[in-house]
Amino acid sequence: MSHDSTKKIIIVALGVCLVCSVLVSTAAVSLSAIQSANRELDRIQNILQAGDIDYTGKDPIELYKESIKSIVIEIESGRILDESEYTEEIKPENFNIKKLASDPNFGVTIAPENDIAQIRRKPKHMVIYEVMSKDNTVDRYIFPVWGFGLWSTMYGFIALNNDLQTVEGITFYAHGETPGLGGEIDNPRWKSSWKGKKALNEQGEVIMEVIKGLVDLSNTNSNSQIDGLSGSTITTKGVDQMIKYWLGDQGYGSFLDILREEGNNEEV
Ligand SMILES: Cc1cc2nc3c(=O)[nH]c(=O)nc-3n(C[C@H](O)[C@H](O)[C@H](O)COP(=O)(O)O)c2cc1C
C-alpha cells in the first residue's frame, strides 16, 4: 500500500478519530465528579450571595451548612413538607428544577394566561432556603426564581427579610443574555441596588417593578422600583415578570400568606 493511497488515508484518519474519542471520553468521565462538585459549590455561593452572607475567607460549604436550612414546599398550597414525605427526586440535595418541571409526575404546565415569566412548566414543589439566626429563628428566606429574558431562561435567587417585604439580595447563576447588555443582570452594582427595596406590601401584594430607565427617587413608589438595564429592555422586562410571577399567587404567594398568618419568626 503506497503512503498516499486512499485506503491508508482512511485507516490513519479513523485511527486518529478513535484515539481522540477515547481521550475525550476518558477526560469527560474522570472530570465529571469535579464538574458536579464545582456546580454544587457555585450553587451554594449563589445562595449565600443572594442571602447577603459574606463568605470571604471562609469555606462556603461549611458556612452554608451552619447557617442555611432547606425546606420543601408544595407551591400551590404553600404547605411545608415533612421530611418523611420527601422522595429521592424532591430531596433538597437532589432537587433539579429543570428535570422536575419537565417530568409529568413532578411538574405542571402553566396556563398561558398565567405564564408571565414565560417558563411553560414548573415543579409542583420547590426548595426554599431559610437563613437561620443565632437564636434559631429564620432571619431571611431565599427563593429560587427563573424566567425568560431575550435569549434565555435566567435562573437565580431572591432573598426576602423575615418581614416578608424587604429584599435582602438577588443573584443569577445561569443565563444566556448578551454580555454587556442583558448580561448586566450579573453587575454587582445593579444587584446591590435591590437591597432594602420593598418587593411586597403589608398585604402581601407584589409591588416591585423593574422599570425602563432610571428610578425617579422623588417618586412615592421609588422604594419598590429598580433601574432597568440600558439597551436591554427585554431582559429587564423578563426580570420584572419573573419577580412578579414567583413572589405572586402563582409562585410563593401561598407560602408567604401562611407565614404572614402564622407570624413568620417563630422558634423552629
Ligand atoms: C447583538 C445584540 C444583542 C442584544 N442583547 C440583548 C440582551 O441581552 N437583552 C436585551 O434586552 N436586549 C438585547 N439587545 C437589544 C434588543 O434587541 C432590543 O433592541 C433592546 O432590548 C431594546 O432596549 P432599549 O429599548 O433599552 O434600547 C441586543 C441587540 C443586539 C443587536
Please report whether residue 73 resides in a domain.
yes
Range with the poorest average pLDDT among 42-56, 87-101, 245-259: 42-56
pLDDT confidence tier of residue 1, bands split at 50, 70 and 90: low
Please report whether residue 52 resides in a domain.
yes
pLDDT confidence tier of residue 43, bands split at 50, 70 and 90: confident
What pLDDT, on a 0 to 100 scale, did the predictor assign at position 216?
95
- Specify the number of domains making up the chain: 1
The CA 153 to ligand 1 mean position distance, Å, reads 15
Q: Three cell numbers at 172?
A: 443569577
Residue ranges of E strands in 78-137: 107-109, 121-123, 125-132
Please report whether residue 60 resides in a domain.
yes
pLDDT in tens, 121-174: 999 999 999 999 989 999 999 999 999 999 999 999 999 999 999 999 999 999
The CA 233 to ligand 1 mean position distance, Å, reads 7
What average pLDDT does range 198-225 have in this prediction?
A: 96
pLDDT at 267 over 50: no
* 228 Cβ below 6 A of ligand 1: no
* 182 Cβ below 6 A of ligand 1: yes
| Host H or E run for residue 51 | none
* 150 Cβ below 6 A of ligand 1: yes
Residue 232: closest CA among 197, 170, 182: 182
What pLDDT, on a 0 to 100 scale, did the predictor assign at position 266?
54
Please report whether residue 156 resides in a domain.
yes
This prediction's pTM: 0.87
Q: Which of 227, 232, 237, 239 to mutate to test the pocket of ligand 1 (most atoms within 8 A of CB)?
A: 232
CA distances from 205 to 19, 202, 228 (A): 61, 8, 21
Please report whether residue 21 resides in a domain.
no
User: Whose CA is closest to atom 4 on ligand 1?
Assistant: 178
What pLDDT, on a 0 to 100 scale, did the predictor assign at position 268?
44
Please report whether residue 267 resides in a domain.
no
Please report whether residue 17 resides in a domain.
no
Please report whether residue 191 resides in a domain.
yes
89-113: b (≥16 Cβ within 10 Å) or e: ebeeeebebeebbeeeebbeebeee
- In terms of residue numbers, what domain contains 133? 46-262
Rounded to whole angstroms, the Cα distance separating 242 from 236 reads: 10
